[in-house]
Amino acid sequence: MAYGLTADQVRRTNRPAPVAAPWGSVTSLTEMAEYAMYRIDVMAGGSQPLHFFPSGYTAFLESGELAVRSLNSAGRSQAGTVLAGEVLPLPRFMVHGFSSAPGAAVYLFGPRSSEGLQAFAVETAEAAEAAFHALKPAELPHAGQPTTDVREKYWGRIETILSDDVAAKRIFVRKGSQGSLEYHVEKRETYYIHSGLVRVGLRIGRAENRSIVMGPGESYDVRPGLMHLRIGLEDSVILEVSTRDSDSDSYLVEDGQTYRHIDVDSQSATEQQEQPK
């Protein structure tokens, strides 16, 4: 159990660095052993060569628009479009490539592989560019799927991207709102801030309240037993990946509708100011 950890042990956030590619970039967003989350940025006019992954992933398009070219089981070429807010399963060994006229931010979720996001190209960059330029996006069929289990909350909205041994969610936190203080016994999870500014409140040590503030491009790994909540300093979008998710493994400590998370540092400062001179 993580209860009793010090502030130094739980305050570390990650700022993963992108790896550039001719068509955009790839960023590994977490180092947790049980799952993987990657951000794929396709630049405006960028075209990935057809490739495949030995591991299966689920893709989620957060922004922009994608043209997806792939090969079916008979080896024939096909293409479709995916819009922002939609999901695209990428089974193991599926040959595919992304292209985007306006640019796109795509997230991949799946099990952790010792090789990382290992991609095997099956065509040249020149061939990919020519093939995508030949597509007529307005005539392509729709390939994306909607998210599931969309829940409107008093603090924002949460929707499911993937629900399996690896789970993934898109979380919108409204400015000025906060969720409940909770912890999990089994679940491990990672937050990645796509946009906005989020304060993650923690309860550690001898029931001490602490916080970390996260902005775009930062991720944070939440271990089992760590009491935590989310506070919106701005309207914010969080992408979450985790081990299997279950409502029965969420233990409420404080109700976010009535509880106010005050850090022990702020409380101590207030108490010192209120001491008689």
Domain of 167: which CATH number?
2.60.120.10
pLDDT of residue 115: 84
Q: Quick one: 79 and 95 in the same domain?
A: yes
Residue range 125-129: mean pLDDT, rounded: 94
Q: Quick one: 169 and 260 in the same domain?
A: yes
Domain range for 267 is 7-13+147-274
pLDDT digits (tens, 9 = 90+) for 176-218: 999 999 999 999 999 999 999 999 999 998 889 999 999 999 9
51-52 and 57-71 as β-strands: parallel, antiparallel, unpaired?
unpaired
Q: What angle do CA 226, 31, 26 make, to 5 degrees?
A: 130
Q: Quick one: 133 and 48 in the same domain?
A: yes
Please report where in the chains the tokens 């993937």 appear, as a residue: 162
Residue range 112-137: mean pLDDT, rounded: 91
Please state, in angstroms and as integers, the Cα–Cα distance from residue 123 to each residue in 47, 70, 71, 181, following that order. 12, 12, 12, 50
Query: Going by C-beta distance under 8 Å and a sequence separation of 6 or more, which residues neighbour residue 176?
Result: 232
- Residue 6: band (very low, low, confident or very high) from pLDDT cuts 50, 70, 90: confident
**Is 246 part of any domain?**
yes
- Residue 272: band (very low, low, confident or very high) from pLDDT cuts 50, 70, 90: very low
Q: Quick one: 60 and 155 in the same domain?
A: no
Strand partners, 213: 199
Distance between CA atoms of residues 172 and 193, nearest Å: 10
Q: Quick one: 153 and 225 in the same domain?
A: yes
Q: Quick one: 132 and 189 in the same domain?
A: no
Please state, in angstroms and as integers, the Cα–Cα distance from residue 220 to each residue in 119, 208, 238, following that order. 26, 19, 11
pLDDT of residue 137: 78
pLDDT of residue 205: 85
Greater model confidence, 16 or 274: 16
Domain boundary among 146, 163, 189: 146
Q: Quick one: 28 and 136 in the same domain?
A: yes
Direct distance between the N- and C-terminal alpha carbons of the chain, in angstroms, rounded to an integer: 43
Q: Quick one: 152 and 269 in the same domain?
A: yes
Burial 220-249 (b: 16+ CB within 10 A, else e): bbbbeebbbbbbbeeebbbbbbbbebeeee
Domain boundary among 102, 124, 146: 146
**Is 1 part of any domain?**
no
**Is 24 part of any domain?**
yes
Q: Quick one: 123 and 188 in the same domain?
A: no
Q: Quick one: 136 and 255 in the same domain?
A: no
Expressed in percent and rounded to 5, the helix, strand and coil fractions of the chain are 10, 50, 40
- Residue 72: band (very low, low, confident or very high) from pLDDT cuts 50, 70, 90: confident
Please state, in angstroms and as integers, the Cα–Cα distance from residue 70 to each residue in 6, 96, 111, 222, following that order. 49, 4, 22, 36
**Is 2 part of any domain?**
no
Distance between CA atoms of residues 155 and 134, nearest Å: 45
The domain total for the chain is: 2
Strand partners, 236: 173
Stated length of the chain = 277
**Is 158 part of any domain?**
yes
Q: Quick one: 32 and 103 in the same domain?
A: yes
pLDDT digits (tens, 9 = 90+) for 145-178: 999 999 999 999 999 999 999 999 999 999 999 9
- Could you give the strand order of the β-sheet that contains 156-163, starting from the edge strand earlier in sequence? 148-153, 156-163, 166-173, 236-243, 189-195, 219-222
**Is 26 part of any domain?**
yes
Please report where in the chains the tokens 């016994």 appear, as a residue: 185
**Is 31 part of any domain?**
yes
pLDDT digits (tens, 9 = 90+) for 30-70: 989 999 999 999 999 999 999 999 999 999 999 999 999 99
pLDDT of residue 198: 98
- Residue 267: band (very low, low, confident or very high) from pLDDT cuts 50, 70, 90: low
25-34, 69-78, 84-93, 252-261: least confident range: 69-78
**Is 127 part of any domain?**
yes
pLDDT digits (tens, 9 = 90+) for 82-106: 999 999 999 999 999 999 999 999 9
Q: Assess whether pLDDT exceeds 60 at residue 273.
A: no
Domain boundary among 146, 177, 192: 146
Q: Quick one: 140 and 192 in the same domain?
A: no
Q: Tally the C-alpha atoms within 13 A of residue 262's C-alpha that lie toward its C-beta.
A: 9
